[in-house]
Structure 1
Amino acid sequence: MQEKEDTTQKLGVSSTETSSLVTVESSEEKSDQFQDIKNQFLEILSELPIIIAGFFGKYQKPIITLGIILGAIIIFKVMFAVVESLNDIPLLAPTFELIGIIYSGWFVYRYLLLASNRQELSKEIQAWKDQLIGDKSSDS
């Protein structure tokens, strides 16, 4: 017994000290706090469309640019997955390579071998470029 008293005195704890009791909130106070939090949450939710519209209005171009970049990444990943799955089919990859070689040979023979054909190709490329970018002579 004496050891127990010695240890309590060493720790600075005395059995005669009164400890303060923790006050427990009543259920009514908890209900009021819950209602306050609920009202704040509902207020934020009701303003959410306005906040999102303001954010989108302010950052419209960067958001669209980011969407286009993410869309392009997804398209390229899907495209590469399709090409990779086609490469797994026997005899299909060599067939595509043969078609590519034949088309390249035809393109060289048709457009690049003679000077007149090269001029024709240059005119076609310029016409496509004018259609995409716009004709500079008609804008002036």
Structure 2
Amino acid sequence: MESQYKDTESKAAETIDNVDNEMGGIISASQPASGAEQPWQEWVDVAVDFLSQVPEQLGNFFGEYKQPLTTVGLILTAAITVYITLSVLDAIGNIPLLASILELVGLGYTAWFTTRYLLKASTREELFAEFNGLKKQILGGK
């Protein structure tokens, strides 16, 4: 009987120790022992370690595969550009009279270019000189 009294007395002492005086007598939750972590804490630690290594791994990946990724990016950009251009041209073609006017403008420019540069040998030489000058500007002169 005396041992039961001591067990009850020690439990009462633990309960009194767990009372939080700042919260007006609310019993505080007991903290786990330092060696006994909660089971989900291990998973959180693994996730945090993985997420902290992601920027370094991405940097290594992009550093190693820079050229193929650039090529794929350029191909995707070209495909998107062609798609948008065709969509715009289709939309313009659906506007009444605008497609006909643009065709006339294109035919007029073609006629002017032909008469200006292609009919005479001297003007063809002038065109080739302009073309070669432009090519030297873009590719660099030798």
The TM-score normalised by the length of structure 2 is 0.71
Q: 1:60 is matched with which residue: 56, 59, 66? A: 66
Q: CA deviation at 1:107?
A: 0.5
Q: State the one-letter code of the partner of 2:122.
A: S
Aligned to 1:122: 128
Aligned to 1:74: 80
| Bigger Cα displacement from structure 2, 59-68 vs 120-129 | 59-68
SS in 2 for 1:83: helix
> CA separation in 2, counterparts of 1:59 and 1:38?
31
> CA separation in 1, counterparts of 2:119 and 2:95?
36
Aligned to 1:50: 56
Listed as ranges, the gaps of 5+ residues in structure 2 are 1-35
Aligned to 2:42: 36
> CA separation in 1, counterparts of 2:119 and 2:62?
54
Q: RMSD of the alignment, in Å?
A: 1.4
Higher relative contact order (CA 8 A, sep 6+): 2
Q: CA deviation at 1:35?
A: 2.1
Q: 2:139 is matched with which residue: 122, 133, 137? A: 133
Deviations 1:64-99 (A, max 9, x none): 221122112112211111111000000011111111
Percent identity reads 39
How do 1:94-113 residues align onto structure 2 when only pairs under 5 Å count?
Answer: 94-113=100-119
Runs in 1 of length 4+ with deviation above 4 angstroms? none
> CA separation in 2, counterparts of 1:59 and 1:36?
34
> CA separation in 2, counterparts of 1:84 and 1:37?
55
Q: 1:86 is matched with which residue: 82, 86, 92? A: 92
Listed as ranges, the gaps of 5+ residues in structure 1 are 1-28
SS in 2 for 1:89: coil
Q: State the one-letter code of the partner of 1:51.
A: Q
> CA separation in 2, counterparts of 1:84 and 1:35?
58
Deviations 1:106-129 (A, max 9, x none): 001000000000000010111111
